[in-house]
Structure 1
Amino acid sequence: MFLEIVTPEAVLFSSEIDCLVVPGIDGDFQMLDNHAPIVSVLKEGLVKIHIHTQDHIILDDLNGRLEVEKDDDRILSLAINSGTLELNDNKAIILAD
């Protein structure tokens, strides 16, 4: 699946991923390839991005916003205050604050 994370300041992330976990208003939920289309409001929490390998992703500093998990370098975390998510045809877009 393809993921793009956009804030008012910049595009923070844009790449193919294996899995995505987001903080929905009713709790965290996970999306994999071929997930049904969905639109959701996100609350404050961590967006967790599971990537196959870090070889093809260039991580900029992003003011310290995007972090690699300590236990697994294939999981990236991004703290958000709120946002919205749209997933359709294996493309997820997160508009985050």
Structure 2
Amino acid sequence: MFLEIVTPEAILFSAEVDSFSAPGTDGEFQVLNNHAPIVANLTEGSIAIKAANVVLDDKFKEKFETISDKLVLKINSGTLELNDNKAIILAD
């Protein structure tokens, strides 16, 4: 599936991913390929992305951590929309 993470300043991440987890208002949840369409509010926490061979933009590398085999981005809040295997996260 395709994941894009957008902030008011820039597009931080844009790539094909295997899965990701996000901090929803009712708890953390995971999104896999072919997930049903969803719109969700996100709270403070971390987005953990599992993807092979992702190249991060040099301007934004410092915003991501690598933990095990996942890229992790901390957010304050946001909104997720997923439809037709394309996820867009608008994050703060």
Q: Select the structure that is richer in strand.
A: 2
- Residue of structure 2 equivalent to 1:62: 60
Secondary structure (helix, strand or coil) at the match of 2:36 reads coil
Quote the Cα distance in structure 2 between the aligned partners of 1:25 and 1:96.
14
TM-score by length of 2: 0.93
**Count of equivalent residues:** 91
TM-score by length of 1: 0.89
Quote the Cα distance in structure 2 between the aligned partners of 1:43 and 1:77.
15
Secondary structure (helix, strand or coil) at the match of 1:8 reads coil
Unaligned segments of structure 1, at least 5 residues:
none
Q: Deviations over 1:53-96 (max 9, x none)?
A: 22xx2222516211111xx2x31000000000000000000000
CA RMSD across the alignment = 1.1
- Residue of structure 2 equivalent to 1:38: 38
- Residue of structure 1 equivalent to 2:91: 96
Secondary structure (helix, strand or coil) at the match of 2:79 reads strand
Quote the Cα distance in structure 1 between the aligned partners of 2:36 and 2:61.
33
Unaligned segments of structure 2, at least 5 residues:
none
Quote the Cα distance in structure 2 between the aligned partners of 1:50 and 1:4.
13
Quote the Cα distance in structure 1 between the aligned partners of 2:59 and 2:65.
9
Q: Deviations over 1:7-66 (max 9, x none)?
A: 000000000000010000010000101100000000000000011x22xx2222516211
Quote the Cα distance in structure 2 between the aligned partners of 1:68 and 1:29.
19
1:16-27 correspondence to structure 2 within 5 Å = 16-27=16-27
